[in-house]
Amino acid sequence: MATDRKTSTTLTLRKFIESGTEITGQAEEVVVLFADLVGSTEFKMDRMPAEGLRKTALHNETICDALCDSQFGGEIIKLLGDGVLAVFRGENKEVRALDASLYAIQQLETINDKHNWNPEDPSSLATRIGIHIGKVWWFSVPQLNVPDPQGSTVDIAFRIQGLANAQTVATTEELFSKISTRDKYNKTDSDERVLKGVRSPMKVRLVGLPDKPLEDLPLAPNCIPTRADLKPALTQAEEYYHHGEFDLAEKVYREILAKLPTDYRANFRLAKILIRKRTPDPTLMTRVLREARKHLCMTKRLVNDDGRVWILLGWIRFKAFENNIKLTDEATENRETNLELAIAGTQQAVLRAMTRRAHDKLIRAKSQLALLYVYRSREEFGEGQADLDRANTICMEIKAFPSRQLERDRAECLRVQAIVKIELLSKSHDTQSLQSDVKKIDDLLKNAITADRSNSNVDITRAMLKERLKDLGSEDLLDDLDS
């Protein structure tokens, strides 16, 4: 099925540069494929060099073997670190390229199953694949053993590979529309995306393994940017927001989203405004949190590695847990699942903040995670002391940050530390130890007030301390401090 790559259409690179050889009629239509190992950089940073190289080698070997299988006839052009560049030529190249991509993904799944590597396991193998069809020109380069394909087809295939989710294939609609049996594939709808260096948006879709759920095509960083005619409105909304005029900001953000539902800033800001709203009406609270979650899910599609989005998603789940409301119509959703999802979302925020070295977001995420562990420790489905130990460890990690990095969230960090210490108070403590611990908690709350006098949650935390001391029969300790 593959043909000899060394044909009369191969151009000599040096001769072309020096003489400007005419290339009309010397192009060949092929399918270009890029495959890239997911999460390899982070894995290598956290492991010994041999482990990182072993994972890369296993990925590249598996991909190459799958693409070159006799039923597909792919040709490997080169390895690019943890990536593979290949082409498909001849008849039915579109079908062979797509089927080979899915076969390669299935081979990785088989390896993961063999080693009991689940998707969360750092050792698990996952790839992203991008395919596009178009003309390429083959150049003979003295330093390479095989001709090198050049042209915008190669560039586009590389760009759309970045749009694929883990274990999926991103294909241009130009290629997919040529496949007569396309209805048989597990696929998303096609949608337009902006690719770097390409003047007009291109239609792209994702294809995955049969019976595997497919997430929507990621939006960012390739979503259609804010339209020029909406930028003045966005600027006005931002001014309202930063001046605390949230009702006016909400109105403008909604007007922007009515015209461009994929605007990242408008979705993110509107979600934050909705989360700020307080109401004793559970029906209204449910509606507000559901809408906020909808806008945050859109921002997550736009920028999946923004820790702020994950923090807020975790917080919404926590509020659903706290108010015993449902954010979805799923029968399995309950208080326990909402708290577990709040913890999982906040853990994602921690990971993303660590990866991006965003210390302010990391501190905020860790503070929220400690608080969530405290709440879980109180539940029958929680892990009791183990959760409190986790929360205490996180608080110690937060305290280790330089003061300048803590400045923005100092009040909330101090309050969370106080809550953890309140939960750790025990009847087993002797009077002197208990008095010392209460004094430390009181100092934390006083410092939190000094850091942010508008933080009303400090009063709520002080009330928690009084209730805890009452349960311990030692409420007089706090009265002694107040006096």
Q: How high is the pLDDT of residue 237?
A: 93
In a domain, 3, yes or no: no
250 and 351 in a single domain? The answer is no
320 and 290 in a single domain? The answer is no
Predicted TM-score (pTM) of the model is 0.58
Instruction: Give the dihedral of Cα atoms 413, 417, 423, 425; nearest 10 deg.
Output: -160
pLDDT band at 273 (very low <50, low <70, confident <90, very high): very high
283 and 423 in a single domain? The answer is no
- Where residue 132 sits, what CATH number does that domain have? 3.30.70.1230
Q: How high is the pLDDT of residue 478?
A: 65
101 and 16 in a single domain? The answer is yes
Question: Which tokens go with 292?
Answer: 């906020």
pLDDT band at 8 (very low <50, low <70, confident <90, very high): very low
Q: Residue 307: is its pLDDT beyond 90?
A: no
User: What does the pLDDT look like over 385-400, one tens digit per residue?
Assistant: 899 999 999 988 888 8
242 and 320 in a single domain? The answer is no
442 and 383 in a single domain? The answer is yes
CB 132 within 8 A of CB 70: no
User: What does the pLDDT look like over 414-463, one tens digit per residue?
Assistant: 888 888 888 888 755 677 788 888 888 888 888 888 887 777 788 888 88
Count of structural domains, the chain: 3
Q: How high is the pLDDT of residue 3?
A: 45
What whole-number distance in Å separates Cα of residue 416 and Cα of residue 444?
9
Span 252-273, average pLDDT? 92
Q: Of 289-293, 342-346, 373-377, 397-401, where does mean pLDDT reach its minimum? A: 397-401
pLDDT band at 1 (very low <50, low <70, confident <90, very high): very low
Q: Which residues contact 423 (CB under 8 A, 6 or more apart)?
A: 374, 377, 378, 388, 391, 468
Could you count the other beta carbons within 10 Å of the beta carbon of residue 24?
Answer: 5
Q: Residue 24: is its pLDDT beyond 70?
A: no
In a domain, 155, yes or no: yes
Question: 50 vs 45, 111, 112, 122, CA distance in Å?
Answer: 12, 19, 19, 15
Task: Name the residue among 381, 378, 346, 351 with its Cα closest to residue 365.
Answer: 346
In a domain, 217, yes or no: no
Domain boundary among 147, 181, 208: 208
Contacts 24+ apart (CB under 8 A), 238-246: 238/265, 238/269, 241/269, 241/273, 246/273, 246/276
367 and 263 in a single domain? The answer is no
The residue whose two tokens read 């060099």 is: 49
pLDDT above 90: percentage of residues in the chain: 46
- Where residue 387 sits, what CATH number does that domain have? 1.25.40
113 and 240 in a single domain? The answer is no
Question: Which tokens go with 376?
Answer: 């879980």
- The type of residue at 409 is D
Q: Of 33-37, 46-50, 90-94, 284-288, where does mean pLDDT reach its minimum? A: 46-50
In a domain, 41, yes or no: yes
Domain boundary among 143, 175, 208: 208
The whole domain housing 328 covers: 298-482
282 and 329 in a single domain? The answer is no
Span 302-330, average pLDDT? 89
In a domain, 1, yes or no: no
In a domain, 142, yes or no: yes
Rounded (10°) angle between helices 49-67 and 93-114:
140
In a domain, 219, yes or no: no
Domain boundary among 165, 181, 208: 208
Q: Of 1-10, 206-215, 463-472, where does mean pLDDT reach its minimum? A: 1-10
Rounded (10°) angle between helices 307-323 and 264-276:
30
Report helix, strand or coil for 71.
coil
What whole-number distance in Å separates Cα of residue 160 and Cα of residue 198?
11
Q: Residue 235: is its pLDDT beyond 50?
A: yes
Mean pLDDT over all residues of the chain? Answer: 86
What whole-number distance in Å separates Cα of residue 131 and Cα of residue 33?
5
322 and 439 in a single domain? The answer is yes
428 and 363 in a single domain? The answer is yes
Q: Of 50-59, 191-200, 375-384, where does mean pLDDT reach its minimum? A: 191-200
Q: How high is the pLDDT of residue 2?
A: 42
- DSSP for residue 401: S
In a domain, 215, yes or no: no
- The type of residue at 381 is F
Alpha-carbon 446 to chain mean position: 37
370 and 386 in a single domain? The answer is yes
Q: How high is the pLDDT of residue 61?
A: 96
